[in-house]
Chain A
Amino acid sequence: MEAKNDSTNARATEDRRGFLTKLPTLGMAAGLAGGYGTFFGMAGSYLYPAASNNKTWLLATHLDNVGPGQAYPFRTPAGEQVVIARVGSGASAEDFIALSSVCPHLGCRVHWEAQNDQFFCPCHNGTFSRDGAPTGGPPKDANQALIRYPLSVRGNLLFIEVDLTSLTT
């Protein structure tokens, strides 16, 4: 019984000694992992682009310039073409839509095809009706309509929220 206790104690001492011997190695490995992990974390943060909000509200037009059923072409200061249309007879923001020319599928620019009465995206053959609803190609399969710009009406004036970021300025 005593011999068994002795051997158990010896094994415990050995385990403790083994653990203590490994401790500096483990500590060093943890230090290295922590140090290099922090370095690569900082590198990731450096590479990840900072969020930018360069949006602003601009005067688009006088309400009287867009009659019911009519469209009004608007160009943002960054050069983007926007089609503003009056879809209702009232004078609230809900009576107007401002369609982006960016295809919701993979970001190409759509253009208006008067002969087919539709917007057409040349990249992957997506088509949209005049109110921006998807009518063909991948956008129809995924039910992706043309993106709308936020609009607001103040008095008799129509305002639009646009991005001022431009590649050339």
Chain B
Amino acid sequence: MISIRHWFRERIPISGDVLRELTNEPVPNHLKRWWFCLGGTPAYLFVVQIVTGILLAFNYQATPTAAYESVRYITEEASYGWYFRGIHKWAATLMIAAVILHQMRVYFTAAYRKPRELNWMIGMCLLLGTLGLGFTGYCLVFEQLSYWGATVAANICDSVPWFGGFLKRMLLGGESYNEHTLSRMFILHAAVLPCVMILLLFVHISFIRLQGVTEFKFSDEPKDKPGFFSFFPDHLFTEVIIGLVLMLLLSFLASVVPAHLGPKADPFTTPETIKPEWFFYVMFRWLKLFSGTFAVLSIGFIIFAMFIWPWLDAGLRRITRNEEISTWIGIVAVIALIGLTVWEALAAH
């Protein structure tokens, strides 16, 4: 046993103490509260997506003539295909919800302020990457929603002044939806976006490790209690429990509300009622309220403002001399987000 350890120590010259120092980050006490563990939840779900995505890719064919049939085969014939597809679909839904909730938690606790502005921006990139994965994912099924979703998204790109046409052609691989479009979506979904997300997650977690987790004190905590606890094993156990609960929830959802297969894409008929996935309801309603270019430019402006929010917030606090200004703006934004989503969910058209 000692010789085996010695053999490894010679080839991997890191002592246990150094390894413990590198991985065992002191975790602030507030992370014992579940609400503050929302950052680890999307990371766990992302791993679930990679594993189930690789399994699905074994049987998926990214061509307009074969895609729908291959998804039908996965869902109806392949052993446990329905289960893995269901897990993939529900993990995507939960991942988007968890990312949004994590971002809200960071926002309302002002954890994005100096010196964590850059990590907020990386978080924004991760949010957009997650939405991009969600969008390209449902384009791959090649049902009606997939086809019309891709068409509408490409034309939204086209509405962007100056380089919109370029974006549209790059996304579709031509002027309109064609035989190259699905393979582009597949490469974006299964290779480009996951690689970018992994890199961004690495930087995101490195920043957290370098700057430490923002500390929060609660009035109900005893004053003499130590402010930190160990990552290993205490916090890791919390994450393991979260992971197990998520797997149970995903299995339950995949079994009780399985991923269904809508009508096959028909390029000549837009269905009478068509709606994107719930996470695009806000944008969809916005596009109904305003004309194309204005709607697209205003969405772009809102996303840009979110990116630079740490600096906007600092400026607003200085001008208004109100420390709570970001909280009030956040409350209005969340009400608008929920309001537009519910409006779109309830409206027939």
Contact = CB atoms under 8 A, between A and B. Distances in A.
Nearest to A121: B270
Interface in A57-74: none
Interface in A94-133: 101, 105-111, 121-125
A122 B124 CA distance: 32
B175 to A, nearest CB: 8
B39 to A, nearest CB: 34
B267 A167 contact: yes
A123 B268 contact: no
B66 to A, nearest CB: 12
Given A49-B169, A125-B349, A168-B65, A108 B151 contact: yes
Nearest to B172: A49
Interface stretch (B29-37, B206-214, B290-298, B310-318): B290-298
A35 interface: no
B156 A122 contact: no
Interface string A138-150: 1001101000000
Nearest to B287: A124
The interface centre, meaning the residue of A52, A101, A122, A144 with most chain B CB atoms within 10 A of its CB, is A122
A162 to B, nearest CB: 13
Interface in B138-166: 148, 151-152, 154-156, 159, 166
Secondary structure of the A contact surface, majority rule = loop
Given A48-B169, A52-B174, A138-B288, A123 B274 contact: yes
B173 A49 contact: yes
The interface centre, meaning the residue of B155, B170, B272 with most chain A CB atoms within 10 A of its CB, is B155
A122 B292 contact: no
A105 B292 CA distance: 7
Contacts, number: 81
Given A49-B169, A49-B173, A138-B288, A109 B269 contact: yes
A106 B292 contact: yes
B177 interface: yes
A81 interface: yes
Contacts of A79: 267-268
A81 B152 contact: no
A3 interface: no
Given A48-B169, A106-B287, A122 B271 contact: yes
B23 interface: no
Contacts of A165: 176, 178
B273 interface: yes
Contacts of B269: 109, 111
Q: How large is the interface on A (under 10, 10 to 19, 20 to 34, 35 or more residues)?
A: 20 to 34
Given A48-B169, A79-B268, A122-B274, A141 B291 contact: yes
B194 interface: no
A3 B177 CA distance: 77
A125 B284 CA distance: 11
B170 A142 contact: no
Interface string A65-89: 0000000000000011100000000
Contacts of B170: 47-49
Contact of B292 (A48, A80, A138): A138
Given A48-B170, A49-B169, A122-B349, A167 B179 contact: yes
A123 B287 CA distance: 10
Nearest to A102: B176
A121 B274 CA distance: 10
Given A124-B284, A167-B179, 18 more contacts: A47-B170, A49-B170, A49-B174, A79-B268, A81-B268, A105-B292, A106-B151, A107-B152, A108-B151, A109-B268, A110-B270, A122-B274, A124-B288, A137-B288, A138-B288, A142-B293, A144-B292, A168-B65
Nearest 9 pairs of A and B residues by beta carbon: A141-B291, A142-B291, A106-B155, A109-B270, A108-B270, A107-B155, A106-B152, A107-B151, A167-B64
Interface of A: 47-49, 52, 79-81, 101, 105-111, 121-125, 137-138, 141-142, 144, 165, 167-168
